Structure 1
Amino acid sequence: MSDKRVYSDNPRVLAVQTLAKIKNGAYSNLQLNQVIKQHHLGEADKRLLTTLVYGVIQHRMTFEYWLLPFIGDKKIDAWVRELLYTAIFQMKFLDKIPEHAIFNESIEVAKILGHVGTGKYVTAILHNIGRQGLQDTAKIEDSIQRLSIEKSLPIWLIEELVRQNGEQATRAMIETINDAPQQSVRVNTVLATDEEVEQALIAENFTFVKSHVADHAYVVSGGHVASSKAFHDGLLTIQDESAMLPVESMHLTEDVKTILDAAAAPGGKTTQIAQYIAEDAMITALDIHEHKIKLIKSHAERLHVSEKINTRVLDARKVPTEIDQKFDRILVDAPCSGFGLLRRKPEIRYDKTLKDVDNLAHLQFEILDSVSQNVADNGMIVYSTCTILRQENDDVVAKFLAKHADFELVPTQTSKNLKPNRQEKVLHVYPNDYQTDGFFVATFQKKTATTSA
């Protein structure tokens, strides 16, 4: 990060500052929302800031490959590297901005965040790029390594996806992985109908289309929905379309009275459950961290569903010893590697390993194994992850069923009847299926005591 303490509403300056913070461990979506709220930006500047930040993170390995011939092993400040990446991104992916304008703006940012010498260095690099062009990835002979650089994904992840899905399916899957994430919202049916939300969005000049993936959902453009009056008033909440599917799969009828959300933070699915349950039903929402419990409560208050949710700080693996209640429904939206979220949280691709995936799969099984002891007869567990790796999905399901003869896997069903002709009972949603986050949903039903005997 630049040593200079600079406050600016220039979206290019903010992009470089934000990227430097993300490189130091901040989450891209949280950091971006914070920056947008703290600065006075018009819609065009918000779009440019968001595009630059996501674009650089998504293509970081490609930009590193392109920049290498111009800087060699010279050590440069991290923020200067991020600035050069933003310039390259604009050159390669934003065709409406002339090259001379990109250069001039980037050099100006270098002067604002650095000093005259930094400006001269950035000027020299950019002019060299302008004269010589960027090296062609086609020169990379190894096909997996080339795909890794072109899509900016670690080699181990590509190899694993190819092993699990084949090369053709993997190429189709990751072809869309760096597309801009869509902004989708869920209608809070406790406070508004779909039609009322449509009118609220129109009143604030948003454009939208009804979701083809989830019920009471819209894909919205034309502004930052989290800043809207409709959001503030609790008429809607931001949630990816595929993230709505686990709750749709829970079969929340009027007879369902007790629900456990075993890993509930930040509360998107908890509040979704609250929309559909009976007036006398109650959700117990758990998380291991107190500050995340506060997020659930805040979310529930904004959406006016707090009275249906009891929150508790508890590790879900301790449910059998700490909670003696039986539940009609349990949702295990498990902690996972998050590789289905690469459009929305592109930075996670760079710091996770296959060992991390294996460790998470072990944790996921432990949670499922534990909470299964608190399922009522004929009750259900919905298990979901936002990853596309089978170690955390199908393998966990198989391991659970192997240990628990008192449960059976039943077909996962969603409101829009997604993938009706699939052969498997679980539901895999890949990023290229519907241009949503990647998600996995499995549904277990507990057999009655007489059935399992």
Structure 2
Amino acid sequence: MEGVLSLLPRSHTQFVLSRSNFSNAIKSDSLAISGVVSASTVSPPHNSRRRYTQSIETNQAPRLSSLTKRTIQNINQEISPHRAVATVRLLRIEKGGAFAGLLNEKGKNSGKNEMDYVERTLGFRTRELDDRDIRLVTEIVGGTVRWRRYLDHLILSLCNKERVFTDMEPLLLQILRIGFFEIVKLNMPSYAVVNENVKLAKVALRPGAGNLVNGILRKLVLLKESDSLPLPKLEGDDRARARALATIYSHPVWMVRRWIKYLGQEEAVRLMNWNNADPYFGIRVNTWKGYTRADIASQLEDLKVDYETSVLDDFFRIRTGMQAIIHAGLLKKGICSVQDESAGFVVSVVDPQPGETITDCCAAPGGKSLYMASRLQGQGMVYAIDINEGRLRILRDAAKLQDLVGVITAIHSDLRAYSIRNIVKSDKVLLDVPCSGLGVLSKRADLRWNRHLEDMKELTRLQDELLDAAALLVKPGGVLVYSTCSIDPDENEGRVMSFLQRHPEFSVQPINRLVPPDFISEDGFYFSNPVKHCMDGAFAARLVRSLS
């Protein structure tokens, strides 16, 4: 494992290992144990609900409505709110009903709205989430989702029979995953982790479930303390080695095999380390409203936010402190927006100029549209097209917030139908296509488990169709920018080369004056490498249409 870690630059190694001792965290292989349920148990929780309602009656509280009484009586004071919310959120993610992150596209935190889900799922409420709870939910949910394959490997190893794992009810499995993640990856005090997760299993399920959690977690603690967590061996043929790496670094096997093919094993390991680390967030200053980067830097310092300035003039990179930015109202007031630097570079490839007409073909929720509109300086128009009306509403709201209503028009349509009936041609067209998202796996922790090899063929077919449609909107001499948030050559260079064969009226235009040379590939395209550039992976090609 030391050989693997040596592949990382020193600064990146420190970043990846900032939360836990990596060498202790990822040693795993297959181990069978017996007698799990008979291990020592933690005493069951006391009935705090009765004490709470009695204290209300003793102090002669004002008369409450029956609904309020039921709500108060249903608050469990002993279960940590972050643990209850994290468990339920993981269940929702597994069913496809939620994302891993609590920060939504409006920059608002949805954590405070989770308690209704907790009550419906677990049968009780806890106290409301405070800021510390929200941070813990974000960390636990994101980490547990990222490390799911590895955690399940450990859990299966510690079950006395395979059926105990395969037949395990979903809620119990999520409780165990959280406990394993906290002990192995966060290095939290084992006694607290065991006690809290046993308590949750007993209250939310039944005493026997708590006993099972107690026994398995205590076995895990013993193995970790003796540095004997089972680790798959990197041996055998290429398929076997890919499976072992997929377990150690918790990624789907097909992704690992694909990255080894395109990048080599060393670079694939670096990429998986990046995907498993806590992500940076980018924010963009809304200069159109009169704010400068110096203004925002001063506010970030006052808020004690850990940040870096970007090579892009209007951007910051936030290491920690997004909650402080949210609470200060910087997003809500339209002073700045959550946007990764990689997306900003795509807009740089478009190079919007005042007076131009620009079409953004798959625009919602609108980050790139809004940035392009702000660079028009009040002159010109961005037509933002998207098939999803709900996400277009987010764009419209953001345009009002950022004072950009006069230079951006949202259009609800399928691009393929719109391009056929529309006769107005644009100076520049941006097509940021639906893609695999393989460049944003550090931020979208759940995405790796929702993508399958079979998706790639369907995605590339759709990308070709959208490219053909977008080409119809470009005027002679105009520019078409094709972009993705993927690092996969089939979705990037492959689609551009295929398009140029079908459309000889287009050619690749150099981008040397638009982005730094470190971001330009050998083929002349924009490419951000997550490991190399410490930002989301993204691709963009600038294509110009001939005048004839």
Both proteins in one fold, TM over 0.5? yes
Aligned-pair distance for 1:32?
Answer: 5.7
- Kindly indicate whether residue 404 of structure 2 is the aligned counterpart of residue 305 of structure 1: yes
Q: Which amino acid aligns with 1:358?
A: K
- Kindly indicate whether residue 155 of structure 2 is the aligned counterpart of residue 55 of structure 1: no
Deviations 1:392-422, CA, capped at 9 Å, x for gaps: 1111000011111111112335765151674
Q: Normalising by structure 2, report the TM-score.
A: 0.76
Instruction: Identify which of 395, 402, 413 aligns with 1:314.
Output: 413
Query: Equivalents in 1 of 2:137, 2:513: separation in Å?
Result: 35
Deviations 1:95-121, CA, capped at 9 Å, x for gaps: 3x2111211122222234333332222
Aligned position for 2:89: 18
Q: Which amino acid aligns with 1:184?
A: G
Aligned position for 2:533: 434
Q: Following superposition of structure 1 onto structure 2, how do residues 74-113 of structure 1 map, counting pairs within 5 Å?
A: 74=164, 75-95=167-187, 97-113=188-204
Aligned position for 1:367: 466
Stretches of 4+ aligned residues off by more than 6 angstroms: 5-9
Instruction: Identify which of 133, 137, 142 aligns with 2:231.
Output: 137
Deviations 1:143-179, CA, capped at 9 Å, x for gaps: 2111111111111111122222233332332231211
* Residue pair 1:201, 1:230 contacting (<8 A) in 2 also: no
- Kindly indicate whether residue 206 of structure 2 is the aligned counterpart of residue 115 of structure 1: yes
Q: Which amino acid aligns with 2:111?
A: I
- Kindly indicate whether residue 340 of structure 2 is the aligned counterpart of residue 240 of structure 1: yes
Query: Equivalents in 2 of 1:110, 1:413: separation in Å?
Result: 58
Distance 1:289 1:138, change over 3 A: closer
Query: Equivalents in 2 of 1:414, 1:356: separation in Å?
Result: 36
Tell me whether 126-135 or 391-400 shows the greater mean CA deviation. 126-135
State, as a whole percentage, how many aligned pairs show the same letter. 26
* Residue pair 2:100, 2:141 contacting (<8 A) in 1 also: no
Query: Equivalents in 2 of 1:79, 1:86: separation in Å?
Result: 11
- Kindly indicate whether residue 328 of structure 2 is the aligned counterpart of residue 228 of structure 1: yes
Aligned-pair distance for 1:389?
Answer: 1.2
- Kindly indicate whether residue 351 of structure 2 is the aligned counterpart of residue 251 of structure 1: yes
Query: Equivalents in 2 of 1:147, 1:262: separation in Å?
Result: 38
Query: Equivalents in 2 of 1:439, 1:300: separation in Å?
Result: 24
* Residue pair 1:200, 1:230 contacting (<8 A) in 2 also: no
Aligned-pair distance for 1:86?
Answer: 1.1
Larger Rg, first or second structure (1 or 2): 2
Instruction: Identify which of 267, 270, 273 aligns with 2:366.
Output: 267
Aligned-pair distance for 1:229?
Answer: 1.0
Distance 1:9 1:316, change over 3 A: farther
Query: Equivalents in 2 of 1:162, 1:219: separation in Å?
Result: 29
Query: Equivalents in 1 of 2:373, 2:280: separation in Å?
Result: 25
* Residue pair 1:173, 1:430 contacting (<8 A) in 2 also: no
Query: Equivalents in 1 of 2:521, 2:451: separation in Å?
Result: 30
Aligned position for 1:44: 132
Aligned position for 2:387: 288
Aligned position for 2:453: 354
Query: Equivalents in 2 of 1:338, 1:227: separation in Å?
Result: 29
Tell me whether 5-14 or 54-63 shows the greater mean CA deviation. 5-14
Deviations 1:73-107, CA, capped at 9 Å, x for gaps: 22222121111111111112213x21112111222
Specify every segment of 5 or more residues in structure 1 that has no aligned partner in the other structure, as ranges: none
Aligned position for 1:162: 260
Aligned-pair distance for 1:370?
Answer: 1.2
Query: Equivalents in 1 of 2:112, 2:374: separation in Å?
Result: 28
Tell me whether 322-331 or 36-45 shows the greater mean CA deviation. 36-45
Distance 1:421 1:281, change over 3 A: closer
- Kindly indicate whether residue 163 of structure 2 is the aligned counterpart of residue 73 of structure 1: yes
Query: Equivalents in 1 of 2:233, 2:384: separation in Å?
Result: 52
Aligned position for 2:246: 148
Q: Normalising by structure 1, report the TM-score.
A: 0.91
Aligned-pair distance for 1:302?
Answer: 2.0
* Residue pair 1:177, 1:342 contacting (<8 A) in 2 also: yes
Instruction: Identify which of 170, 179, 183 aligns with 2:277.
Output: 179
* Number of positions where the alignment pairs a residue of Structure 1 with one of Structure 2: 442
Q: What is the RMSD of the two structures over their aligned residues, measured on CA atoms?
A: 2.2
Distance 1:271 1:432, change over 3 A: same
Distance 1:420 1:240, change over 3 A: closer
Distance 1:27 1:269, change over 3 A: farther
Specify every segment of 5 or more residues in structure 2 that has no aligned partner in the other structure, as ranges: 1-73, 115-127
Tell me whether 329-338 or 340-349 shows the greater mean CA deviation. 340-349
Deviations 1:167-217, CA, capped at 9 Å, x for gaps: 3332332231211111220111111111222233334342321124x3311
Query: Equivalents in 2 of 1:26, 1:223: separation in Å?
Result: 24
